[in-house]
Amino acid sequence: MKKTIVYFMAAFILLGLAGCGNANNVGDNIQNNETESYVRVWDKNPNVQRVDYTLKSSDISKKETDMIEWEKNDIKAVLKIDEEQDYFTYAGESCTIDNARLSVAKGREADVGFAEVDIDNDGIKELAVEYIVTTGTASTQKMTDIYKKDSQEKMTTFVVDNHKISFTHEQEAVIIQTMKEWEAQGFMKENNITEFPFAESSISLFDSAVVEYEGEYFIKVTFATNEMSKENMNLKTIKVLLKCQNNQFDVVDMWY
């Protein structure tokens, strides 16, 4: 089955999105249609590659009840574990971050990963921090935070409310509109879907990570909803690619 990806340009601002400029196309063979959206058919998933961590669980040099320390090649990070909120410091090749808050799932602190990447393609590396967020349920959630080097400001990637990750309203609007266009192309019938498979409150899987594609960096999210877990549904996950422009992460590609 060929997989369909729909990409929306800044003209989509007409729907009320606070866009951040014209996004660069990811891939080739883009065809314009009368609705000013772009439809592309993939024979397989785009070949995105996960970035290498500067520090990960195998680089833990010290672990105590209230502290974890990572160290490798003169790069060091320390996570201070608190009852209400965790804090970390990071000193690396390009980035230094002091006492940034982190909502890590208790017992999963060792799973934190750090990477230095130029996520906004301005020539200056940012710090990406990936970690597991607790939900109190069986659902899986992996968050990606991005910190700017110069101001140590945390950029808004997604929304975390009461330990639950969701897309921003702007991201969600593009995702829903994209799936509606898929529906018009026979997406629902092809995948044996009887119920529209997206509702913010029903996200059961949210797995985000920084990836590289054709020399640029993006955040890839693999997500699923409760509706998609029903036995009669062939669709299991949807992948979303987000690009940072003007300090905002916009949906630029989707596939399934």
Q: First CA to last CA across the chain, in angstroms? A: 10
Amino acid in position 97 = I
CA 55-58-63 angle, 5° bins: 90
pTM of the predicted model as reported, rounded to 2 decimal places? 0.79
Spell out the per-residue pLDDT of the chain, length 256, in tens.
Answer: 434 434 333 333 233 333 333 333 333 322 232 223 333 433 346 788 999 999 999 999 999 999 999 999 999 999 999 877 899 999 988 888 998 988 888 888 999 999 999 999 888 999 999 999 875 565 668 999 999 887 788 999 999 887 788 899 999 999 888 888 888 888 777 777 777 777 656 788 899 999 998 889 999 999 988 877 776 667 778 899 999 988 899 999 888 8
CA dihedral 10, 11, 13, 18 (to 10 degrees): 10
Distance CA 256, CA 237 (A): 6
Q: Are 219 and 249 in contact (CB under 8 A)?
A: yes
User: Whose CA is closest to 210, among 159, 153, 142?
Assistant: 142
